[in-house]
Structure 1
Amino acid sequence: MSSSLLTTEESALASLIIETLNLDTPADQVDPEAPLYGEGLGLDSIDMLEIALVVSQRYGVKLQADNENNVQIFSSLRNLNQFIQEHRGA
């Protein structure tokens, strides 16, 4: 499987992010390994706060602003999805 193909969970997360932020990018065209912040999807810190809120509401996963791993967690759709899957219901 190519690393650029979205898994089912990644596709759902991409759709959620696009819907939340009213982005013009189709979910199936989001590169799961491209940066979410800055380059890639071009999101800013306010967008990241909105994503953290909607992830908390949808998946029950808390993303804390002071988490030292946030740079890694938000570095790509794939990493964010991996974090969510590891912490769902925890």
Structure 2
Amino acid sequence: MNTAAIIDDVKAVVVETLNVEDRADAIGPSTPLLGSLPELDSMAVLELVYALETRFGIAVDGEDVSAEVFETLTSLTEFVESKLS
């Protein structure tokens, strides 16, 4: 799977999990996530982690979850890619 495909899949998971379909077009690789999307609160982070684990078949440990990972769509994609390799 290439990076472009992964970023599209990560974006789809974010949009579906946060229920922000109406703003999906405004979410790009450098879009700030944590602190910028009101829907992305601590509970939504847990739901998003679970959704990413399910979609990509990865395991995310508690210590893996940080503000840096959820900073932008790109940082979240890079995190998923690191778990896939």
Report Cα offsets for 1:6-57 as digits up to 9, x if no partner.
x33212211121112211212x420322221121x33111111111000111
Match of 1:85 in 2: 81
Aligned residue pairs total: 81
Listed as ranges, the matches of 1:28-67 within 5 Å are 28-39=25-36, 41-42=37-38, 43-67=40-64
Alignment TM-score, normalising by the size of structure 2: 0.77
- Structure 1 segments of 4 or more deviating over 4 A? none
User: Which consecutive residues of structure 1, in runs of 5 or more, have no partner in the other structure?
Assistant: 1-6
**How far is the alpha carbon of 1:74 from its aligned partner?**
1.1
Quick one: percent identity of the two aligned structures?
A: 28
Contact 2:34 / 2:67 at 8 angstroms: preserved in 1? no
Contact 1:52 / 1:62 at 8 angstroms: preserved in 2? no
Alignment TM-score, normalising by the size of structure 1: 0.73
Structure possessing the higher relative contact order (Cα contacts under 8 Å, 6 or more residues apart): 2
Contact 1:36 / 1:77 at 8 angstroms: preserved in 2? yes
Match of 1:17 in 2: 14
